[in-house]
């Protein structure tokens, strides 16, 4: 089983955030202070959806539809993330791989 790399997580995080906010050139230095509670909720939902929809990468670099990535996200999770960089690092470190229950 292969976890998503930090670069892959960064792409997912920035894509999820760009759906609700304009991103500066140095996105990793950005904070979440510009988001209200509703925007934070939408960002977390987008992040979870995008993470779940990412292709599963095997150890050899090929992709498969047998598993998916997930992470436990709550409104209180934001307290762990002073910056977007902290969010990226946290998701990278806390991602979990689950098997898909394909019929």
Query: Domain range for residue 53?
Result: 6-99
When pLDDT is cut at 50, 70 and 90, the band that residue 76 belongs to is: confident
Could you tell me if 69 and 4 are in contact, meaning their C-beta atoms sit under 8 angstroms apart?
yes
Does residue 17 form part of some domain? Answer: yes
Listed residue (66, 81, 20) closest to 45, CA to CA: 20
- Strands 67-70 and 63-64 come out as unpaired
Average pLDDT of the segment spanning 49-77:
90
Structural domains of the chain, count: 1
When pLDDT is cut at 50, 70 and 90, the band that residue 1 belongs to is: low
Does residue 1 form part of some domain? Answer: no
Average pLDDT of the segment spanning 25-38:
91
Does residue 37 form part of some domain? Answer: yes
Domain CATH code at residue 19:
1.10.1200
When pLDDT is cut at 50, 70 and 90, the band that residue 102 belongs to is: low
| Confidence (pLDDT) at 7 | 96
- The pLDDT tens digits of the residues spanning 5-19 come to 999 999 999 999 999
The first and second tokens of residue 41, run together, are 């909720």
Average pLDDT of the segment spanning 19-43:
91
Does residue 55 form part of some domain? Answer: yes
């Amino acid at each position: 089983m292969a976890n998503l790399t930090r670069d892959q997580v960064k792409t997912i995080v920035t894509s999820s955030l760009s759906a609700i906010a304009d991103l500066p050139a140095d996105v990793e230095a950005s904070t979440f202070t510009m988001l209200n509670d509703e925007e934070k909720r939408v960002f977390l939902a987008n992040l979870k959806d995008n993470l779940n929809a990412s292709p599963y990468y095997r150890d050899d670099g090929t992709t498969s539809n047998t598993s998916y990535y997930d992470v436990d996200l709550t409104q209180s999770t934001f307290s762990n993330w002073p910056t977007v960089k902290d969010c990226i690092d946290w998701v990278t470190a806390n991602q979990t791989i689950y098997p898909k229950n394909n019929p």
